[in-house]
Amino acid sequence: MPALLKIEDLHVSVGETPILRGVNLEVRQGEIHALMGPNGSGKSTLAYVLVGHPKYEVTQGSITIDGVDLADLDPSERARLGLFLAFQYPVTIPGVKVADFLRHAITNVRNPNRKEGEELIGMREFRKELRDTMNELNIDADFARRYLNEGFSGGEKKRMEILQLAMLRPKFAILDETDSGLDSDAVRVVSEGIRKLMGPHMGVLMITHHERLLEFNPPDFTHVILAGRVVESAKGGDLAHDIHANGYAAVRERHPVEAAEEQAASKEKEPATT
């Protein structure tokens, strides 16, 4: 039975400001879901809330994996349950080599009962797995000896996220605009890497503005979020292609309440004029 990530009536605020206003979404292992929406609609907020970022407060609703409520779980516990987030802007960790980072990460995710000071995954086993994975993704072996994201180009940072994804083998991967800031060649490389990892063991929530990413990884479902709510969902990628071609004007016309809320929120953010 495929695992199920279920989001029900999710309301989220930052301070006194509501961002998500009742999101409902279900993702099963083996499915690819595209999530689209204008800037400020709540896409990245949803990604960060799923993995437990402390900045965001859930005020109503729930997130569950196979019925297990994530409300009181920290990010590491959520990772052990099978959640992974590929960041829009991956962080740099000087002095920590990629291989060392990955060895600690997969040890902690695969061994949820490991106590501090206990042995990591065996070095020989780890090196073979890392080497095989990098070969599969066409990543040069020297990559593993570099410090995590230090001096990496935008494309290299995103390939590092894909390598983490491959090594950690999550049940559910949230890709937060993995294509952001990349040129066409880098988008192709990253897209092909994602495609190689797709399969029945992993559900994907792909937050994207880039049609090229969806060409390589056609979605089973497309969702549109507006003013903190998922206002439209459709099978396949036709809805995504229409939005790429025509923008969100038609979506706003079909959902005037959310469009008005979006406009009001935008005005609140505008600086005062004198």
User: Each residue of 105-150: pLDDT tens digit?
Assistant: 999 888 766 666 667 888 999 999 999 999 998 888 999 999 999 9
pTM over 0.95: no
DSSP 171: S
Q: What is the pLDDT of residue 237?
A: 92
User: Each residue of 144-188: pLDDT tens digit?
Assistant: 999 999 999 888 888 888 899 999 999 999 998 877 767 777 777
Q: Name the token pair of 112.
A: 């949820």
Q: What is the pLDDT of residue 273?
A: 42
Q: Which of 83, 107, 87 is nearest to 29 (CA)?
A: 83
Largest CA distance in the chain: 67
**Domains of the chain (ranges, CATH numbers):** 4-89+171-269 (3.40.50.300)
Q: Name the token pair of 152.
A: 């990496």
